[in-house]
Amino acid sequence: MQTTTPTAVALEDTKVAFRLGDGRVYTAVEEAHLAVAPGEFVAIVGPTGCGKSTLLNVAAGLLKPASGRVRVFDRPLAGLNRDAGYLFQADALFPWKTAIDNVAIGLEIKGAPRAMALERAQGWLTSVGLGAFANRYPHMLSGGQRKRVALAQVLIRDPKILLMDEPFGPLDAQTRQVMGNLLLELWSADRKAVLFVTHDLEEAIALADRVVIMSAGPSSRIIGDWRVALPRPRDIFEVRLDREFHALHREIWSVLKDEVMKGYAQSSQAMEAV
């Protein structure tokens, strides 16, 4: 990326490594270079175990890179990324709080008065289509509904950057598409910078402005970067029928396929070794 364009979040030669129990060092991600511009929606796609979630955790500040730097709005990141909201793959709602309390907490910890936080939370629940479910506890909601609450919980804080780790992974196919449309709708209102990790190439193309492909791990690298020129606003159901969508999908898949195969081969070898 050119250094002149402003970036919301940038990973510069970021290498991620873990020390294994037996003293060896496992390199998850080799010098990755990735920049997300303000208002840009970037999807990272890669085979399972390629370290895409790891990269996201680095951008969030939850994980320290072994080398390289992370810059957030052109300032080096120290500690947690306070400009970012993080949507987790697993259930991350507080199970002991109702839906509305789960959403309001984001404002309450910033010191907002409770009445005001609850009012705004109700508004956000309505935006994600759960206005009538405010007093339900997470276990009384379906997987898709929980993701909606989680989305509201993140968005109420109005973060400048959204980090999403296969957020719709555990959902069924239809719910994923509905959630994708909801995400695009909410995102188009104030275009945050988004870094969206997924293993689903179709989802990535349908949602993003740019699709970044990672190679199979370990020591995975970024091996491709495509711009998605499909017009917005998009409808996830419709866009999949688009001729351009198919052309792009074929092009990216030809690169990704080899990596997916490599990823499978490696993980099955690893299974045999175990």
Partner 1 sequence: MSRLTLLSLQLLVAIVAIVLWQFFSAIPVFGKILLPPFFFSNPVDVFSQIVKWFSTGVIWRHLAITLWESILAFAIGSLGGIMVGFWFARQPRVAAVFDPYVKMINALPRVVLAPIFTLWLGLGIWSKVALGVTLVFFIVFFNVYQGVKEVSRTVLDNGRMLGMSERQLMRHVYWPSALSWMFSSLHTSVGFAVVGAVVGEYLGSAAGLGYLIQQAEGIFDVAGVFAGMFVLSAFVILIDMGVTLVERRLLVWRPMAADGRG
Q: CB-wise, 117 or 256, nearer to partner 1?
A: 117
Q: Which residues pair with 165 in a beta bridge?
A: 197
Q: CB-wise, 9 or 256, nearer to partner 1?
A: 9
Q: CB-wise, 136 or 210, nearer to partner 1?
A: 136
- Write down the least CB distance from residue 164 to partner 1, Å: 12
Q: Count, in order, helices (H) and strands (E) of the chain.
A: 8, 10
Nearest to residue 3, comparing CAs of 59, 94, 69?
A: 69
- Write down the least CB distance from residue 51 to partner 1, Å: 17
Q: CB-wise, 140 or 247, nearer to partner 1?
A: 140
- Write down the least CB distance from residue 28 to partner 1, Å: 17
- Write down the least CB distance from residue 122 to partner 1, Å: 18
Q: CB-wise, 1 or 80, nearer to partner 1?
A: 80
Q: Position of tokens 């080799």?
A: 30
Q: CB-wise, 159 or 263, nearer to partner 1?
A: 159
Q: Which residues, other chains included, contact 228 with Cβ-Cβ below 8 Å and sequence gap of 6+?
A: 205, 208, 209, 210, 211, 248
Nearest to residue 50, comparing CAs of 223, 207, 171, 227?
A: 223
- Write down the least CB distance from residue 144 to partner 1, Å: 18
Q: Position of tokens 């379906």?
A: 142
SS3 122: helix
**Cα separation, 68 vs 133, whole angstroms:** 44
- Write down the least CB distance from residue 105 to partner 1, Å: 6
**Cα separation, 42 vs 31, whole angstroms:** 18
**Cα separation, 198 vs 202, whole angstroms:** 10
Point out which residues bind partner 1 (CB under 8 A): 60, 62, 80, 82, 84-86, 88, 90-98, 105-106, 109-110, 137-139, 153-154, 157
